[in-house]
């Protein structure tokens, strides 16, 4: 079976150039660091498009599949344009994400709105901009959405988000399909929701069921179990309520390779499991194959992104660790401190394997937990060296903060030797932009 891009730690264009310097997308990373300053997010367009093609190729034998990129992983206007140009739709989870994809000119019919506590304003924006599906999460939202849709004189296509009670082996904070979850209807609440939609909520058009098990998943059996539960539920709903549903949204979650010990399945393997599971369940119940919606986020964007930092101070703890500090950290990548996430890195301007020292890469923020990589071997790291941390495309910029009143980094898109800013570095004035001094303090 084919390997796929999510199984690689580095962007597909990563190489050492003739000077021994690291290069991505045909751009020398030391030059990018000089030109745009650090910390710097770099996105390799070729890798991003390769992942999209992996997905399309993997599912080419199943006609009715819709890829909805989970833009929470990384949502910017340029990234949206690229992903849309690959024929993908979008899973959005806020007014901000709706607005971004709308302004980027996305066909809003290919957008799906998720979330466990959507506001009236967000639901209204979704209806005004013509979002294709809304995945309704709870009873309050059913009532609200019906009211809002009615006030616009529209009928809205919806999924019901359900909790399939499946445990997957990932970090506690990024599991979502388990029984004790804040997301979605418990399966025991589905009948009541369907009766309400049938009898009262005439501005809602139920199209199918939605579930999402969790994120950074390496197992395939959980998808099989999830699909069987969703298909069985569709069959049960038709029998009990006479409501025929022909769409299932199985969420996202496919993992990526952050470190050598990570072994995520390929997109082709996941596709095989998903397609076979759908066929098996449908044949068991003697029903037609449904349209499948997928919401991959991390596996689409993670591998294409790296972060460049400049190395600064060092501290050798007597008889202990050697800390090497960089000019970023938990504000541009909160994942190590939130989820004990692990990363791989290389020094850009030094041969990878000479004069190796075991060090701990820490950030510049005022917290001891601000560590990016514990115990990594690097070739004699010194102040001024540029460090490239791999696989930072997903949930880094999207979760970045201004902690310690620092400016969020810039983001650059590289392709075939060209580099373009796609997110500007924040300035000191940007930090003050939303501050207001009441007149009595002036």
Q: Residue 4, interface with ligand LLP (CB under 6 A)?
A: no
Q: Residue 190, interface with ligand LLP (CB under 6 A)?
A: no
Classify each residue of 329-340 as buried b or exposed e, where b means 16 or more C-beta atoms within 10 Å of its C-beta: bbbbbbbbbebe
- Per the listing, tokens 């060209």 go with 418
> Which segment (101-109, 200-208, 292-300, 423-431) binds ligand LLP by CB under 6 A?
292-300
Q: Residue 265, interface with ligand LLP (CB under 6 A)?
A: no
C-alpha closest to that of 92 among 125, 114, 110, 123: 114
Q: Residue 5, interface with ligand LLP (CB under 6 A)?
A: no
- Give the DSSP per-residue string, 353-375: TSSEEEEEEE-SSSSTT-EEEEE
Tokens for 72? 């929470």
Least Cβ distance, residue 93 to ligand LLP (angstroms): 7
> Which segment (25-33, 211-219, 234-242, 268-276) binds ligand LLP by CB under 6 A?
211-219
Q: Out of 75, 362, 366, 388, which one is annotated catalytic?
A: 366
Q: Residue 253, interface with ligand LLP (CB under 6 A)?
A: yes
The pattern of x and - marking residues 44 through 83 that bind ligand LLP according to CB under 6 A reads --------------------------x-xx----------
In the bound state with ligand LLP, the residue whose beta carbon lies nearer, of 115 and 381, is: 115
Say if CB 279 and CB 16 are below 8 A apart: no
Q: Residue 296, interface with ligand LLP (CB under 6 A)?
A: yes
Least Cβ distance, residue 318 to ligand LLP (angstroms): 35
Residue 410 three-state SS: strand
Q: Residue 215, interface with ligand LLP (CB under 6 A)?
A: yes
Residue 280 has φ and ψ, to the nearest 5°, of -60, -50
In the bound state with ligand LLP, the residue whose beta carbon lies nearer, of 299 and 310, is: 299
- From residue 386, alpha-carbon distances to 19, 36, 360 in Å are 15, 13, 15
According to CB under 6 A, which one of 41, 59, 67, 395 is a site residue for ligand LLP? Answer: 395
Q: Residue 298, interface with ligand LLP (CB under 6 A)?
A: yes
Provide the strand spans (E) within 280-399: 291-294, 305-316, 322-326, 345-347, 356-362, 371-379, 386-390
Q: Catalytic site residue 366? A: yes
> In angstroms, how far is CA 122 from the centroid of its own chain?
20
Under the rule (CB under 6 A), what is the footprint of ligand LLP? 70, 72-73, 91, 114, 174, 176, 212, 215-216, 251-254, 295-299, 335, 339, 395, 399
Q: Which residues are catalytic?
A: 366
């Amino acid at each position: 079976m084919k390997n796929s891009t999510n199984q690689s730690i580095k962007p597909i264009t990563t190489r050492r150039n003739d000077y021994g310097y690291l290069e991505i997308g045909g751009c020398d990373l030391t030059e990018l660091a000089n030109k745009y300053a650090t910390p710097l997010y770099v996105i390799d367009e070729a890798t991003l498009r390769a992942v999209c093609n992996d997905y399309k190729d993997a599912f080419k034998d199943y006609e009715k599949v819709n890829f909805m990129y989970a833009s929470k992983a990384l949502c910017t206007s340029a990234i949206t344009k690229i992903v849309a140009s690959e024929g993908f739709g979008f899973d959005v989870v806020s007014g901000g994400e709706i607005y971004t994809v709308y302004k980027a000119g996305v066909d809003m019919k290919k957008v799906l709105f998720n979330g466990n506590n959507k506001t009236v304003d967000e639901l209204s924006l979704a209806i005004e901009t013509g979002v294709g599906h809304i995945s309704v999460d709870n009873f309050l939202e059913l009532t609200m959405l019906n009211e809002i849709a009615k006030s616009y004189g529209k009928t809205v296509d919806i999924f019901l988000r359900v909790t399939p009670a499946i445990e997957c082996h990932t970090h506690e904070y990024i599991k979502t399909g388990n029984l004790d979850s804040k997301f979605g209807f418990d399966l025991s609440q589905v009948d009541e929701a369907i009766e309400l939609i049938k009898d009262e909520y005439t501005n809602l058009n139920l199209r199918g069921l939605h579930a999402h098990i969790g994120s950074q998943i390496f197992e395939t059996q959980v998808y099989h179990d999830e699909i069987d539960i969703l298909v069985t539920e569709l069959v049960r709903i038709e029998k009990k309520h006479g409501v025929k549903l022909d769409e299932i949204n199985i969420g996202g979650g496919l993992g990526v390779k952050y470190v050598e010990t990570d072994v995520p399945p390929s997109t082709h393997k996941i596709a095989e499991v998903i397609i076979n599971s759908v066929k098996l369940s449908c044949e068991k119940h003697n029903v037609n194959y449904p349209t499948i919606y997928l919401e991959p986020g991390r596996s689409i964007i993670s591998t294409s992104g790296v972060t460049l930092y400049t190395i600064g101070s060092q501290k050798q703890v007597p008889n202990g660790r050697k800390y090497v500090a960089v000019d970023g950290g938990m504000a541009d990548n909160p994942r190590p401190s939130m989820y004990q996430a692990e990363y791989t890195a290389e020094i850009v301007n030094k041969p990878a394997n000479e004069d190796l020292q075991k060090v701990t890469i820490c950030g510049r923020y005022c917290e001891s937990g601000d560590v990016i990589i514990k115990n990594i071997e690097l070739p004699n790291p010194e102040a001024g060296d540029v460090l490239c941390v791999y696989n930072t495309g997903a949930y880094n910029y999207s979760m970045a903060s201004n902690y310690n009143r620092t400016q969020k980094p810039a983001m650059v898109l590289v392709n075939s030797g060209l580099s373009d800013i796609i997110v500007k570095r924040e300035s000191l004035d940007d930090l003050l932009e939303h501050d207001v001094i009441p007149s009595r303090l002036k």
